[in-house]
Amino acid sequence: MNTKHFDRGLVWRVLAAGALALAALGLFLIHRTRSSETAISREVESQPLMAQVDRDVDTVLARFGIQKEWIRKSQLPIAGSTLTRIERKITVPPEILAVQVNLALSRMVKKYDGRVVASENSRENTVSIHLEFHGIILETLTLKPDPRLRRGTSAETAPTI
């Protein structure tokens, strides 16, 4: 009699585990569908956001005294999207610290519900700062210090990155 009771309990546990697994799979698929719909609607909203963020980045860089001649700006397509990512390669004087630029950009993107992710490449002596909005990186700034540059000087002799 004990074995029948044990078998019934085991069967109920297996059935309950299967039902929970199916429920988890269903929730995953529903979330995935809604996430892709949300990403599409956010992409449509991102065009005006991109233009405003681009202007604000220019303002932040100008506040640091970074001259336009020190900046190489390009646009790259974002895979699986109609949007383009703006990439800036910036040569900066040594008195401009990447951590200060990172902080200023972090404060700026917060008002758009964005975030900043930065990484350092010690070998190339660069810092890359990515501006991410709704899971999409819309801008990347790569800062490279040059000891020959000073605020108020020309970039004619500065190396490019």
pLDDT 10s digits, 29-82: 777 655 544 554 455 456 778 888 999 999 999 999 999 999 999 999 877 777
Task: Look up the domain containing 58 and give its range.
Answer: 45-145
Beta 126-133 vs 114-121: how paired, if at all? antiparallel
> In whole angstroms, what is the distance from residue 159 CA to residue 148 CA?
9
Is the separation of the CB atoms in 129 and 98 below 8 Å?
A: yes
Is the separation of the CB atoms in 158 and 143 below 8 Å?
A: no
Average pLDDT value over all residues in the chain: 82
Assess if residue 3 is contained within a domain.
no
Assess if residue 30 is contained within a domain.
no
Assess if residue 85 is contained within a domain.
yes
Structure confidence at residue 69 (pLDDT): 92
Assess if residue 58 is contained within a domain.
yes
Question: Which has more pLDDT, 118 or 41?
Answer: 118
In this model, does residue 119 exceed pLDDT 90?
Answer: yes
Confidence of residue 115 (pLDDT cuts 50, 70, 90): very high
Structure confidence at residue 129 (pLDDT): 96
Q: What is the number of domains present in the chain?
A: 1
Q: Tell me the CATH number at 96.
A: 3.30.460.10
In this model, does residue 27 exceed pLDDT 90?
Answer: no
Assess if residue 28 is contained within a domain.
no
Question: Which has more pLDDT, 2 or 125?
Answer: 125
Is the separation of the CB atoms in 63 and 116 below 8 Å?
A: no
Assess if residue 73 is contained within a domain.
yes
Assess if residue 31 is contained within a domain.
no
Assess if residue 156 is contained within a domain.
no
